[in-house]
Structures are given as C-alpha cells and as structure tokens.
Chains A and B, each alone.
Chain A
Amino acid sequence: MIPAKVEDVFIEITTNLKGVILKISPGTFAKNNFKLQTSIYKSCDFLEGVLEALEVSKKFLLEGMILVSNKKEYYVDIEMCKCDINVIILIHDRTKVYKFISQLNQNRNDLFFVKRELAEKNKELANLRKIADKANEEKSRFLAMMSHEIRNPLNVILGYSAMISEEQVNNTVKEYSKLLLRSGNNLKVIVNDILDLSRIEAGKFKLLESAVNLKEISENSIRNYTHQNKNSEVTLALEFADNVPTFVFADGVRINQVLSNLLSNALKFTQKGLVSLKVKKISEDEKFVHLSFLISDSGRGMTKEQTTTIFEEYEQNKQSDYRFFGGAGLGLSIVKRLLKEMNGKISVESVLKKGTIFKVDIPFIKIKSKTDLAFTTEKKVLAKSLKGMRILVADDDGLNQTIVAHIFKKEHVILTQVKDGLEAFNALETRVFDIVILDIYMPNITGEQLVQQKHNYKKKNSTIPFLALTANTAPEDLIRYKSIGFKDVIGKPYTASEFLNKIHLVLD
C-alpha cells in the first residue's frame, strides 16, 4: 500500500516496445492521461524515438521533462527500464522542486545579464571619463596658453603704467595711469584665479609644504595691506596668540594667498572701522596643531542668504561689486578649495551693516626638531648694488625689452640686450657676463635650449646664474626650468621691485 501523498506524485506504466500502454500501476499522478492500449506518446511525446533507443536491462533517467495534464504543465523525471518485450516507465512529478530550480536558474541568469550590462555601462563610463579627461586637459592647456598670451601684454600694460607714473606728468595723466595699474592688477588676479581653479579641478593642484614662519606670514599680510590701504578711516590689526607656534609645516604661498584674499575682501567692503586678523590655537596633539585664523571687519556685512552662496564660483554679492571692485568672483571659491586641500575649513558669520567674520581652521603638522627648521630661514634679500654688473637680457619682445631697460637704467648696470636666442648664444660665446636673463620662447634658439648649452659658452659664463623671464608660471613650469639649469624664474607680469628682488636673491 502506497501512502496517499506519495501515490499522488508517481505513476508506473508498462508499454510494449512501440509505446502502447499495457499496464498502469501503481500511483495516481496524471492518471487520466494514460489509457490502456493507447500510445504513451500522446502524453509523453518526448519518449518518441527514445524507447526504441533504450538499451535492454539498463535503467535510464530523463530529468526535467514537461508533461501536460488537465491543461497544466508538470515537471517530471522519467525512469525507464527496457526488457525483451516491454518497457517499464516510472513517472515522478517533481514540479515543486523544479519550480525552485527554475527560480534559482532565472535569478542566476538574470544576474549574469545584469552584471554584463553593468560591465558594459562601466566600459561606457570609462570611455566617457577618458573623453572628459581629455577635454579637461585641453581646457587646462588652453588656459595655460591663454594665461601666457595674456601675461605678456599685461606685463607691458603694467610696466608702462608704472613708467608713466614715474614721469613728470600732470595729475590727470597720473590718475589715468593709476587706474590703468589698478585694472591691470585686477586682471592679473583674475588670470591667476582662473588658472588656480582649473588646476584644482583637474586634480593637478599640489601643496608644496615646508617649514614656514606663520607669524611672519601674518605680519607681512597685515603690513602689505596697511601699506596698500588708502582709507585713513580703516585700521588694520594683528593679534597673534602667544601659544601659537611660530613655525609649522605648510605651503606658505597658499597660506598667504588665503589670508590675502580674505583681508583684501574685508578691506574692499569696509568704509570705516577695523579690519583685523587674529591667530589662535584651538587644540594640539602629538602630530598636529589646530589653528584658527579670524579675519573680521566692520564693513557692510551680508544677509544670511548671501553667506550661503559666497563660496560659489563667479559669485559676487552685488552686480555693482564687479564694476566697483573688479575680480571674477573666484577668490572665496579658491580659498575654500585651497583649504580643502589643506584639510582645513572656512566658515562665515555676518551681520548686515555691522560686519563679517571669516573663520579659517587648519590642522598644521607640527615642527618637532631643529633639523626641520634647517632650511626654513628665509633668505633676507641683501640690497646689494647692481652697479657695474654685466647683464645679458634676451627677449624678442621689444616692448618688454624697454621695460627691462628702464628698470636697469636706475641700477647703472652694463646691459646687453639681444632679440633672439642665436644672438644670445653668440654673446655668451664671446663676452663675459655676471647674470643672464632669458625669455623662453625666442626665435632660432629658445631660452630652454640656451640654458642647456651652458658648457659651450665662454668658460666664465658657464657658472653664472641664468634666470628665466617668462609668462609660464605654473608650478610644473617652475620646477622644469630649475631642473634644466635656470637658477630662478621671473614671472610675467612683474613689478620693478619683484624683478630686482629675484636678481638680488640669485646673487645672494
């Protein structure tokens, strides 16, 4: 006796070798499908051709066959055994098991196709990224080129404006040249900001950290803006807390850029009162010292809404700000990004018509030993006289040559000016100089090629300092120029004092 449940999932059928049903026993599964003396192929078409092919006395199993009974599909396993005159067929309903297998199988296959689609999408994304990277590189190259092309004429504008202001001219002309200088300097800031931003966006921005004197940077910032501030109703002040370490590891140029940007903004928007910089220690652990720079002013202040957008690019709170103060509205955005690179942060609190406080927090790496400070003592530029010095300047731009000549005239140097690389090469082979200043892009021989041929020059000229005079001022350019033999780089546009400072530095 077969238990009812088991009976329901089995049926055993005996057929002759041609598939005619001879016996049905035991089991009740799909019983209505099978009738004595009819062909089993009516219900089990998959057995057609199989029964004949079976080997005698050898059990055979067909798994996962589909059998339709009462218009319903069942998954069945078929066990067969053939003897000389007939075939015994055991049909086992395994629908429930196969349903699970089916689901698992479907999931596995679906997963495969999803993974495949994902891989294709990733490939597409990688391609798109490549295109975007290339576009970004193109943009950076374009900006670098544009910067170079702007810096050269800008140098001429600023240089000639400075020269005009030194001449005996009437007040109107003096005023005009002052405005020219101001606009030129604004343009210089914009070009630098755009380049900084593109470098940060392209992931090419790197901090150049060394031990720096924070106190000196803070003092210089305040001194610089005190000097520039023409408004006698605004006072600048510095508070440098006693417990703040004088030296820390940082990128001094960028710290100065952050402070200068914030102080410059504070001064722009303050008509009366105080602009101050306070440097405080927040906390300290074994490795880091967390410092806070508070730049506060008693200026026009901002609304809460304005404080939420001021760190966005090209943002100026009033359209008229652009006309009045210039700039592209990139300064604060760059400050924020620079601070992100330094793992620092910036926040702002402001009250309309009362003033604004920018709070900058930066974790600095501490200076632990004296050896860290070995190379930090900034070179004090000795204002050594250049009188009588033999200086060779090669530049194919006549306007720039005039500016250089004007600066050197006051220094009473023995100046030799040539208009291309070949003339410079000939001069270096035949005459002795104390300093050589080379433009980079020159006809015949470039500045880069010239500096790399030092060994070919008149013996004494092979040991003197060479300076690059160029509008290529990206950090990677400066590193490259120094690596191929330039002692230093004078970046365009330059002021007379910046120009002379560089020369004094290399002579020192």
Chain B
Amino acid sequence: MIAKKVLLVGNFGVGKTSLIRRFVQNKFSEDYISTIGVRVSSKVVEFENNEVKLLIWDVAGTSGDEKIPKAYFLGASAAMFVFDLSRSETYLTIENYIESIKDLSGLKEVTIVGNKRDLLTKEELKTVTDSISVKINIITSAKEDANVEDAFLKLASQALK
C-alpha cells in the first residue's frame, strides 16, 4: 500500500477540519474549535485499483498575510486549498495564496475546494463562483456531506500523479 502525505490549507474557520472529520469519521459538528499546529489523520482509499493510505495534514488556518511554515510541506504529494463560499475574505486573494502554496511545496497543482455550499442560495453561489478568477475544482458541504469524498479522491489522484 502506498502512503501519501496530503495537506489541507486555507483561512481559519473555512471547514478544513470538518471536511477531514466528515471524510475520515463521517461526522459533523457545528461547534467551531480552531486547530493549533497540525493534526494528522489517515484513511485508506481505493483509487484506480490502487489502495492509497492518505496521511491528511490538517494545518491550522491562517489569517491575513500569515504564511504556512515550509516544513509542513516536506514530503507532501498533494495539497488542497479550502475556502468558505460565504466569506469573501477567504477567497479574495486566492491567486496569491495558491502561488504561495506552490512555491512552498514545489507542487505544480493545488486542489481548490469551495466549502459551506449549504449557506448559499443557487444565485449567491453563482455570483461567488463567477467572481473567483481561478478554477474551482469542487464545491462541497461538510455539513450536508456533499462532494466531500470526491474532493479527497481528487486529492488522491493529484497525489498519485
């Protein structure tokens, strides 16, 4: 079995821990507990007939111009940038953020995930996605368990590339 280290990064409160919790334990909580440092979870997924053990690094959310320590990216095979569809400040500088992740990790690709779909109407969602200049890979809702599995499979595929 192959083990792949993958990271979830993004502003605080966007739902990184909730996405991991939903994916690994199929649980969701409305309570917000901010993550400190890094919490690593793992889950074995099957992808294209391969069993892959994903070592998922839940990196503490950042705020403003805060940078993620470079050491966290050491040995990472893939990274997911998560933003909150209902909070513009979490995606306003998305292009810079993605570039910075690529610089720190040496990865060529970053999976971009818009979370908290459940908080927006269809029209609001369209307005938000239209306003974002980069391509969003997947829209999720950890609360409603929408597209969470797909998001991590996308991450696994990126890790295996």
Contacts and interface: CB of A to CB of B under 8 A. Distances in A.
A48 B38 CA distance: 14
Interface residues of B, number: 27
Contact of A63 (B40, B42, B69): B69
Given A46-B38, A60-B71, A63-B71, A113 B55 contact: no
A52 interface: yes
A226 to B, nearest CB: 71
B24 to A, nearest CB: 13
Interface string B32-45: 11101111101000
A60 B63 CA distance: 24
A171 to B, nearest CB: 76
A105 interface: yes
A52 B37 contact: no
B38 A50 contact: no
Interface in B76-135: 76-77, 87
Contact of A60 (B39, B42, B61, B74): B74
B106 to A, nearest CB: 10
A48 B54 CA distance: 11
Contact of A106 (B34, B38, B75, B87): B34
B13 A65 contact: no
Contact of B34 (A50, A62, A64, A109): A109
B155 interface: no
Nearest to B71: A62
Contact of A65 (B4, B40, B55, B75): B40
Contacts of A62: 38, 71-72, 74
A53 interface: yes
A110 B61 CA distance: 13
Contact of B32 (A46, A48, A66, A109): A109
A79 B71 CA distance: 11
A53 B33 contact: no
Contacts of B76: 49
Given A45-B55, A101-B36, A102-B34, A109 B13 contact: yes
Interface string A62-90: 11111000000001000000000000000
A445 to B, nearest CB: 50
B12 interface: yes
Given A53-B74, A105-B60, A64 B38 contact: yes
B37 A66 contact: yes
B38 A49 contact: no
Interface string B20-57: 00000000000011101111101000000000000101
A98 interface: yes
A268 B23 CA distance: 82
A51 B72 CA distance: 12
B146 interface: no
A172 B33 CA distance: 87
Contacts of A176: none
Contacts, number: 73
Contact of B75 (A49, A61, A105, A116): A49
A65 B60 CA distance: 11
Interface in B57-75: 57, 60-61, 63, 69, 71-72, 74-75
Nearest to B33: A106
Contacts of B3: 48-49
A106 B72 CA distance: 21
Contacts of B55: 45-46, 48-49
Given A49-B5, A50-B5, A66 B34 contact: no
A54 interface: yes
Contacts of B5: 48-50
Contact of A64 (B60, B61, B63): B60
A66 to B, nearest CB: 5
Given A54-B74, A66-B40, A49 B34 contact: no
A112 interface: yes
B36 A113 contact: no
Which of B4, B37, B57, B87 has the most chain A CB atoms inside 10 A of its CB? Answer: B37
A105 B4 CA distance: 29
B36 A75 contact: yes
Contacts of B72: 62
A115 B74 CA distance: 36
Given A49-B4, A60-B71, A112-B13, A65 B37 contact: yes
A51 B74 CA distance: 9
A381 B60 CA distance: 85
Indicate the member of B33, B34, B36, B57 with the most A CB atoms within 10 Å.
B36
Given A52-B75, A109-B13, A112-B13, 11 more contacts: A48-B55, A49-B77, A50-B75, A53-B74, A64-B60, A75-B37, A98-B37, A105-B34, A109-B61, A112-B12, A113-B32
23 contacts: A46-B40, A46-B57, A48-B3, A48-B5, A48-B55, A49-B3, A49-B75, A53-B74, A62-B38, A62-B72, A63-B69, A64-B36, A66-B39, A75-B36, A75-B37, A101-B36, A102-B36, A106-B33, A108-B63, A109-B13, A112-B63, A113-B13, A116-B87
Chain A to chain B: the 8 pairs with minimum beta-carbon distance, closest first: A64-B37, A53-B75, A49-B75, A49-B5, A46-B40, A102-B36, A50-B75, A109-B34
